[in-house]
């Protein structure tokens, strides 16, 4: 299993167990309680922009 696949599976399991399957509480907690670099923040913004654009189209 590739690292990304393993990470996805593990995080889904944590989300299911801790937040009823919702990802946003996990993401928000990690963002608020970790020291993100400017590059981390830039990458998060780009991801959110891509997701938002995708939802508008689809």
Count the domains in the chain: 1
Would you state the pLDDT for residue 1?
81
Residue 44 has pLDDT above 90, yes or no: yes
Inter-residue long-range contacts of 38-46, CB under 8 Å, 24+ positions, other chains counted: none
Reported as a single tens digit per residue, the pLDDT across 8-38 is 999 999 999 999 999 999 999 999 999 999 9
Whether the CB-CB separation of 26 and 14 falls below 8 Å is answered with: yes
| Count of beta carbons in the 10 Å neighbourhood of residue 27 | 13
Q: What is the pTM of this model?
A: 0.73
pLDDT at 58: 78
- 2, with CB counted inside 10 A (0-12, 13-18, 19+), is exposed
Instruction: Identify the domain containing residue 15 by its residue range.
Output: 3-57
């Amino acid at each position: 299993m590739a690292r990304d696949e393993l990470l996805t599976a593990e995080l889904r399991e944590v989300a299911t167990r801790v937040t009823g399957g919702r990802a946003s509480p996990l993401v928000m907690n990690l963002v608020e309680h970790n020291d993100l670099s400017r590059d981390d923040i830039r990458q998060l913004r780009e991801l959110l922009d891509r997701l938002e654009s995708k939802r508008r189209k689809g």
